[in-house]
Amino acid sequence: MTTDPATPLAVDQFIVGLQPALPDDIVAARARSEAAGLPAIGVSSEQGRFLSLLVAATGARRVLEVGTLGGVSALWMARSLPEAGQVHTIEVEPAHARIAQENFSASPHGARCVLHLDEAAKALARWVAQGVAPFDLAFIDADKKNNVRYAELALALARPGSLIVVDNVIRSGRIIDVACTDENTQGARDVLSWMGSHPRLALAVLQTVGEKGYDGFAVARVQA
């Protein structure tokens, strides 16, 4: 049976309507990001809630995010952190970082968000060399061609029991199309192959459908 393309969006809207109203700071951050013309590629409301639940369920205190955009996903994760917890989020585009910082400043949870304006691979490699404290959860949602490098560095900055989450790994099913050479799709294939074969990672891949279309998350737990 083929599903009407409008159905996933309608279901997402129905699910959102079953729950308490979206937090004011999340609504404001999304509106500010849209008004500034940021790409409409951030997490959906339910994906944001999922990330928030992961932070709460794992008891994370230190969260790493690669790809800030307008800061909406960072705010979702920050709201589940303890008072002294932090989300360290890396963004390479100054215009995106400016909006994200405005969103953090306007949110009651924004003080837990530490924004780094930098190239992610360089920043992460520097943190590895400096021996910074490990992160309990990493969320990778940046340029897909560098997915494997980001995942490698996230693993180097993790501890046993940490989670590494990579967004947009299904690409509307294009990952199984061997004729598709799009660099974003190839980046998704590469990171799934790398994570799936790594001896220190236990991987699950979840296909998702909703207001963001047909895509998915890779979620891996770091083994001893």
pLDDT digits (tens, 9 = 90+) for 69-114: 999 999 999 999 999 999 999 999 999 999 999 999 999 999 999 9
Taking residue 111's Cβ as centre, other Cβ atoms within 10 Å add up to 12
For 87-109, what is the HEC assignment?
Answer: EEEEECCHHHHHHHHHHHHHCCC
Q: 2 falls in which pLDDT band (50, 70, 90)?
A: low
Q: Does domain 6-164 have CATH number 3.40.50.300?
A: no
User: Mapping DSSP to helix (H, G, I), strand (E, B) and coil, where does residue 209 land?
Assistant: strand
Q: 1 falls in which pLDDT band (50, 70, 90)?
A: very low
Share of the chain above pLDDT 70, in %: 99
CB 12 within 8 A of CB 211: yes
- Its sign, for the CA torsion 154, 122, 126, 57, is negative
DSSP state of 38: -
Query: What are the extents of the domains in the chain?
Result: 6-164
- Its sign, for the CA torsion 100, 104, 107, 112, is positive
pLDDT given for residue 5 in this prediction: 72
Q: Mean of the per-residue pLDDT values for the chain?
A: 96
